[in-house]
Amino acid sequence: MKNLPTSRAAAKLLAAALVFGALAAAAPAQAARCGNGAGGFESWKQAFAEEARGRVGASGVDALMDTHYNSATIGADRGQKSFHLSLEAFMTKRGASAIVARGRQLKRSQAALFSSIQSRYGVPPGPLLAIWGMETGFGAVHGNQHALSAVATLAYDCRRSEYFTDQLYAALELIDNGRLSPSARGSMHGEIGQTQFLPKNILQYGVGNLDNASAALTSTANFLHAHGWRAGAGYQPGEPNFAAIQAWNAASVYERAIAIMGRQIDGGDE
């Protein structure tokens, strides 16, 4: 016959079991794990929603649950070949001469807007117009992806999960605050508006409706100013304000192209 525990020992075992059970019940659900294909997206979404509850409101969680895995976003994320071109080839491919020509026209026709922006943020028209032209062709092409699905797909995807998890939480907060529609359309990585803001940048630097040109340009100047832009200082490589352009986009060839086009629009080079 097995030795049975004494009543005191049994009580201790029972207490320990109750504590363990309480701790297990209080433990968070298994963390959402990234994946490398569409197959795990739905289960990841369920796990992420559980993690998000309490941090974001019901509107944000509901919007997340309506997202879908976006294969086009993954394809675009893996195929950004233009950033590996030479500077000359990149500028040709992106239509730099047309951007400069149109930028100069807009600088004249919207002089009051750009003067107001420069007075407030210290950012001259050239780099703003170069970014606007580079990102959306001055508002002609905003992208037609379901923005939240694009961001959620990249948060799930293992390649840059941590970075886009922050973007996803920002997007859900924007939806909760009524600043972003759950059905908003954007570019392949979930960028929004005329100068293509990711959700975290909308949250931190966005001013007004970014589908509106003046709001988008103001927000872009706000971003550059917040990243150290100094009124009157240069913005070519090696000059003080180039670092703010680098903060906008991490691709070296893009950064140099913006600096060159901006200088040409502002009248430095013909």
The mean pLDDT value for 89-106 works out to: 97
Q: DSSP strand E in 71-198: where?
A: 145-146, 185-186
Which among 234, 223, 240, 268 has a CA at the least distance from the CA of 100? Answer: 268
Q: Which amino acid is present at 209?
A: N
Average confidence (pLDDT) over 254-268: 95
Say if CB 42 and CB 14 are below 8 A apart: no
CA distance 100 to 76: 26
pLDDT-derived band of residue 179, with 50, 70 and 90 as boundaries? Answer: very high
Amino acid code (one letter) for 101: A
Tell me the pLDDT band of 19, cut-offs 50, 70 and 90.
Answer: very low
Give the residue with greater pLDDT, 7 vs 119: 119
Q: How far apart are CA 229 and CA 218, in angstroms?
A: 14
Residue 34 backbone zone (phi > 0: left; psi -120 to 50: alpha; other: beta): beta
pLDDT at residue 28 is higher than 70: no
Percentage of residues in the chain having pLDDT higher than 90: 83
Q: Angle at the Cα of 192 (from 142 to 165), degrees rounded to 5?
A: 135
Of 130, 108, 125, nearest in space to 259 by CA: 130
Mean pLDDT of the 144-170 span: 97
Q: What's the average model confidence in pLDDT over 191-211?
A: 97
Query: In this model, does residue 81 exceed pLDDT 60?
Result: yes
Closest CA to 194 of 218, 224, 217: 217
What confidence score (pLDDT) does residue 135 get?
97
User: Which tokens sit at 216?
Assistant: 């988008």
pLDDT, tens digit, for every residue of 116-130? 999 999 999 999 999
Residues 61-79 have pLDDT tens digits of 999 999 999 999 999 998 7
For 52, 61, 90, 173, 208, the CA distances from 55, given in Å and listed in that order, are 5, 10, 41, 9, 24
Over 90: is that where the pLDDT of 245 sits?
yes
Q: Look at residue 268 in the predicted model and tell me its pLDDT.
A: 62
- Select the more confidently predicted residue: 83 or 161: 161
Half-sphere exposure of 95 (CA within 13 A, CB side): 13
Contacts of 81 (CB under 8 A, 6+ apart): none
Q: Cα 158–163–142 angle (5° rounding)?
A: 100
Say whether pLDDT at 206 is over 80. yes
Residues 6 or more apart from 162 whose CB is under 8 A from it?
none
E strands, the chain, in order? 145-146, 185-186
Instruction: Give the pLDDT band of residue 147 (cuts 50, 70, 90).
Output: very high
Residues 6+ apart with CB under 8 A from 76: 188, 189
The average confidence (pLDDT) of the chain is: 90
pTM for the model stands at: 0.85
CB atoms within 10 A of CB 44: 20
